[in-house]
Amino acid sequence: MAAVDAETIGKSYGATAVLDDVSLRFEDGRFTSLLGPSGSGKTTLLRIVAGFVTADRGRILIGGEDVTSVPVWKRAIGMVFQSYALFPHMSVDDNVAFGLARRGVRGAEASRRVGEALEMVRLSGFGARRPKELSGGQQQRVALARAIVTRPRVLLLDEPLSALDRRLRQEMQVELKRIQREVGITTIFVTHDQEEALALSDHVAILDRGRIVQAGPPGEIYERPATRFAASFLGDANFLEGVVAEGGVIVGGVLVRTDDPLPAPGTKALLAVRPEKIALVPAWGAAPAGHNAVPATVRQVVYAGAASTYLLDGPGGVALTVFAQNRTGGPVAEAGATVTLAFPPKQTILIKD
Amino acid sequence: MTALGKLFLFAVLGFLYLPVAVLVAMAFNASPLYALPFEFTTHWFEELAGNDKLLAATRNSVLIAILTTVLATVIGALAAIALSRRRFRGRTLLRLLLLPPIAIPWLIIGTAMLVFFFWTGIGRGLHAMVLGHVALAIPYVVLVVGAGLNNTRIDLEEAAMSLGSTPLHAFFAVTLPLLMPSLIAAALFAFAVSLDQFVISYFLATPGVSTLPVEIYTSIRKGFTPEVNAVSSLLLAASMILIIIFARLTKVGGVSGRR
């Protein structure tokens, strides 16, 4: 086990910068997700840590040791590929034993460890089968067993769940997290799925166009997004643009207050509010004391049983979204109704555009 | 399947196999003039055992075919790997240039080789025929192995490397076993190209050293003997056995039943 450090990693393909001097620490034993859209450089960063891609600039350290010029096969990593990449001409046992044999572990000791690894992924008794005789989820677990059986210093996961259907994916998320905890291995997980990143990670790094936009525990990024991209990529967000005034930001003629320190009055500012932090108050009611009160018109209500999504037009015509539990039986407002949106200044976050 | 479809299938198979069946039957017919009624004999096979020229030519053909198979498969497979896995200047051009030799008439290639081998001092004979056959067979090998390589996956080699394999070990442990059916098919192609080859062999043969197709052609011109039927039948049997082995190994034609 070891921490992994990426130090000012730069990588370009031709004129296109894929990674722009990215620095990130993957703490020992921690599950870190690299979250970003396609083209954000997350996979390239993973492949640089693995050693499949050579960075133009920067260093990779595993357990404090500089491995920048160490080839893949000497880095002592474990990797699970998007396609699983199981060897089709070998049995499950032979697949799992492959890495052990490369490290000189053979015979009874190898059999014992293969057995342990298959037990850990709950596939005992499947050892004699060929990969094509297994379901997608089972192949996935074999790939995981194969990657961890050699006790690598770091486990690299390249969108390993994306080929599975939704139900199986959720099941595998739980399994993956359990196994990662049991083994206690430093894990780097590449995904474009925000829910997956939230559910699995101790730490999330959001990438956009080759840069790390924000890194931190998932709850911190969700509650305190730093930029418009981070706020919209991890979860949903309402954005309120306006001009800084005394005590808040004027958005479409309405003063919206925030607990965050504001720049000088007169400058432009951007605020973000998560849709579930906003309460809908009927026009005849009043917002709780100290809350922001923003008038809006309901454009559409999407009823989804437990909760409803309200699409609204706010001050200056800005499009807003509110999630609310259907506590009182059905939606609390209909399309066309004029309402007041109430939300605390503490949940009104000043972000960078 | 409909009755009409079955009939069509049998008609096609009949068209393919009837001439061959007649040849085999005549190898066992007593009359040297193909006279009926059929009278079974193994006389022509006994005669064949005493026909040193035909036997020597057969040995040459088989020897050349084996040498061609080994050389063309190794060279062609390496070329195919380079063309599919390496990025280098002129790769596309090289790949394109591999195709025309398949389309150029053998007569022209044969003439060219004769002139070239004479001019360079390579001359004629067994070694020249092997060279010619290898050159002919390589494009087929590159095509077949190249197609096979397109179906192998880079991620499997990457997985092997992540587990501690060097690129060379990853190739031998993962890619090569998966490439085996293509390699066997390519080898069979090379073998068939060589064994079949008449024009180039004819040009490069010397009076003492010829191949079976050349010898058969010569003996037909001199006056037909059913020994040619006998040796052809033996060759046919050998090819059939090879094809069946190939089908078994590669599971072509559903021999093993399961996909």
Q: Do B155 and A50 touch (CB under 8 A)?
A: no
Residue B246 has pLDDT above 80, yes or no: no
In 3D space, the residue among B25, B32, B6, B213 whose CA is nearest the CA of residue B129 turns out to be B213
- What number of C-beta contacts closer than 8 Å exist between A and B? 56
A3-24 pLDDT, tens digit each: 999 999 999 998 888 999 999 9
What percent of the residues of chain A are helix, what percent strand, and what percent coil, each to the nearest 5? 30, 35, 35
Q: Would you state the pLDDT for residue B111?
A: 87
- Choose from A13, A52, A67, A73 for mutation: most chain B CBs within 10 A: A73
Residues B135, B252: one domain?
Answer: no
User: What residues of chain A lie within 8 A of the CB of B174, using their CB?
Assistant: 87
Residues B82, B182: one domain?
Answer: yes
Q: What is the mean pLDDT of residues A333-348?
A: 91
Residue B137 has pLDDT above 80, yes or no: yes
Write the DSSP symbol of residue A276: G
A108-127 pLDDT, tens digit each: 999 999 999 999 888 998 99
* Structure token digits, residue B124: 């004629």
Residues B132, B142: one domain?
Answer: yes
Half-sphere exposure of B225 (CA within 13 A, CB side): 15
Residues B211, B231: one domain?
Answer: no
Residue B2, domain member (yes or no): no
* Structure token digits, residue B246: 């190939």
Confidence bin at B1 (pLDDT 50/70/90): low
Q: Round to whole Å and give the CA distance between A38 and A33.
A: 14
B34-50 pLDDT, tens digit each: 767 777 877 778 877 77
Residue B8, domain member (yes or no): no
Residues B232, B141: one domain?
Answer: no
Residue B208 has pLDDT above 90, yes or no: no
Residue B4, domain member (yes or no): no
Residues B159, B56: one domain?
Answer: yes
Structural domain containing residue B32: 16-45+225-259
Residue B240, domain member (yes or no): yes
Confidence bin at A175 (pLDDT 50/70/90): confident
Give the global pTM: 0.79
Amino acid at B233: S
A193-227 pLDDT, tens digit each: 888 888 899 999 999 999 999 999 999 999 999 99
Q: What is the mean pLDDT of residues B176-190?
A: 88
SS3 per-residue string spanning chain B: CCHHHHHHHHHHHHHHHHHHHHHHHHHCECCCCCCCCCCECCHHHHHHHHCHHHHHHHHHHHHHHHHHHHHHHHHHHHHHHHHHHCCCCCHHHHHHHCCHHHHCCHHHHHHHHHHHHHHHCCCCCHHHHHHHHHHHHHHHHHHHHHHHHHHCCHHHHHHHHHCCCCHHHHHHHHHHHHHHHHHHHHHHHHHHHHHHCCHHHHHHCECCECCHHHHHHHHHHHCCCCHHHHHHHHHHHHHHHHHHHHHHHHCHHHCCCCC
Q: Would you state the pLDDT for residue A133?
A: 93
Q: Would you state the pLDDT for residue A102?
A: 92
Q: Do A81 and B153 touch (CB under 8 A)?
A: no
Residue B73, domain member (yes or no): yes
- Facing B165 at nearest CB: one of A73, A78, A88: A73
Q: Round to whole Å and give the CA distance between A240 and A262.
A: 14
Confidence bin at A347 (pLDDT 50/70/90): very high
Tokens 């997350």: give the residue.
A42
Residues B28, B143: one domain?
Answer: no
Residues B207, B234: one domain?
Answer: no
Residues B105, B209: one domain?
Answer: yes
| Predicted ipTM of the assembly | 0.83
Look at residue A203 and give its three-state secondary structure.
Answer: strand
Residue B116, domain member (yes or no): yes
Residues B33, B124: one domain?
Answer: no
What residue in A sits closest to B163 (Cα-Cα)? A99
User: What residues of chain B lie within 8 A of the CB of A72, using their CB?
Assistant: 158, 161-162
Q: Do B163 and A81 touch (CB under 8 A)?
A: no
Confidence bin at A167 (pLDDT 50/70/90): confident
A138-164 pLDDT, tens digit each: 999 999 999 999 999 999 999 988 878
Q: What is the mean pLDDT of residues B210-230?
A: 80
Alpha-carbon Rg for chain A, nearest whole angstrom, is: 25
Tokens 């039986």: give the residue.
A329
Q: What is the mean pLDDT of residues B121-138?
A: 86
H or E, element range at A69: none
Q: Would you state the pLDDT for residue B257?
A: 37
Instruction: Say how many domains are in chain B.
Output: 2
Please provide the distance, in angstroms rounded to a whole number, between the alpha carbons at the two ends of chain B: 21
Write the DSSP symbol of residue A227: B
Confidence bin at B258 (pLDDT 50/70/90): very low
B110-121 pLDDT, tens digit each: 888 888 888 887
Residues B100, B212: one domain?
Answer: yes
In degrees, rounded to 5, the angle at the alpha carbon of residue A235 between the alpha carbons of residues A234 and A238 is: 115
Residue B232, domain member (yes or no): yes
- Name beta bridge partners: A254: A251
Q: Would you state the pLDDT for residue B254?
A: 41
Highest mean pLDDT, choosing among A28-32, B53-57, B100-104 = A28-32
Residue B255 has pLDDT above 90, yes or no: no
* Least confident piece of the model among A83-97, B28-42, B79-93, B167-181: B28-42
Q: Round to whole Å and give the CA distance between B117 and A39.
A: 56
Confidence bin at A134 (pLDDT 50/70/90): very high
Q: What is the mean pLDDT of residues B63-88?
A: 90
Q: Would you state the pLDDT for residue B160?
A: 95
Residue B161, domain member (yes or no): yes
H or E, element range at A194: helix A194-200
For residues A227 and B254, which has the higher predicted lDDT (pLDDT)? A227
Q: Round to whole Å and give the CA distance between A153 and A62.
A: 8
Residues B156, B176: one domain?
Answer: yes
Write the DSSP symbol of residue A51: T
Q: What is the CATH number of the domain that holds B141?
A: 1.10.3720.10
